[in-house]
Chain A
Amino acid sequence: MSFFNRNEKPGDAPQPKAQPAQPQANNAAPKPEPPRQVPAPILKPNAAPTPSAFTPTPTPASPPTPSFTSKAGAPMASVISKALKITGELESTEDIQIDGQIEGDVRGVGVKIGQNAKVKGTVYGDEVELAGTIEGRIESKKVILTGTARMTGDIVHQDIKIESGAYVSGNLKPELNKADSKPVSKPAVAAPSPVSATTAH
Chain B
Amino acid sequence: MNGKFMLTSARRSPAQRPGPSAVPGEAQTPPSFLGPGVGIQGALEIDGELVVAGYVRGHIAAVRLVIAAGGYVEGDVVARDVVIAGKLSGRVFAPTVSIEAGAEVEGRIFHTNLIVAQGAHVDGRMPWRPVSYFETLDHLPEIRP
A: which residues have CB within 8 A of B?
Answer: 7, 9, 12, 16, 18-20, 22-26, 29-39, 41-42, 44-52, 54-59, 61-68, 70-72, 76-81, 83-94, 96, 100, 104
Contact = CB atoms under 8 A, between A and B. Distances in A.
Interface string B40-59: 11111111101101110111
5 contacts: A25-B3, A34-B78, A51-B69, A51-B102, A71-B33
Contacts of A52: 102, 104, 121
A34 B32 contact: no
- Interface range for B: 35 or more
B43 A34 contact: yes
Q: Which 4 residue pairs across A and B have the least CB separation, nearest first?
A: A88-B42, A56-B119, A93-B37, A94-B37
B45 A84 contact: yes
Contacts, number: 237
Interface of B: 1-4, 7-8, 10-11, 13-14, 16, 18, 25-27, 29-48, 50-51, 53-55, 57-59, 61, 63-64, 66, 68-72, 75, 78, 80-81, 83, 85-87, 93, 95-96, 98, 100-104, 113, 115, 117-119, 121, 134-140
A68 B33 contact: yes
A86 B61 CA distance: 10
B58 A32 contact: no
Nearest to A46: B39
A38 B62 CA distance: 16
Contacts of B1: 24
A62 B100 CA distance: 7
Contacts of A49: 72, 87
Interface centre among A64, A80, A86, A104 (most CB of B within 10 A): A86
A66 B10 contact: yes
A89 B33 CA distance: 16
A35 B140 contact: yes
A148 to B, nearest CB: 20
Contact of A34 (B61, B87, B95, B135): B61
Contact of B47 (A23, A72, A83): A83
Contact of A81 (B25, B30, B36): B30
B11 A64 contact: yes
Given A24-B4, A45-B55, A51-B86, A78 B38 contact: yes
A84 B44 contact: yes
Nearest to B113: A20
B97 to A, nearest CB: 10
Contacts of B4: 19, 22, 24-25
A70 B9 CA distance: 12
B99 to A, nearest CB: 9
A34 B45 contact: yes
A154 to B, nearest CB: 23
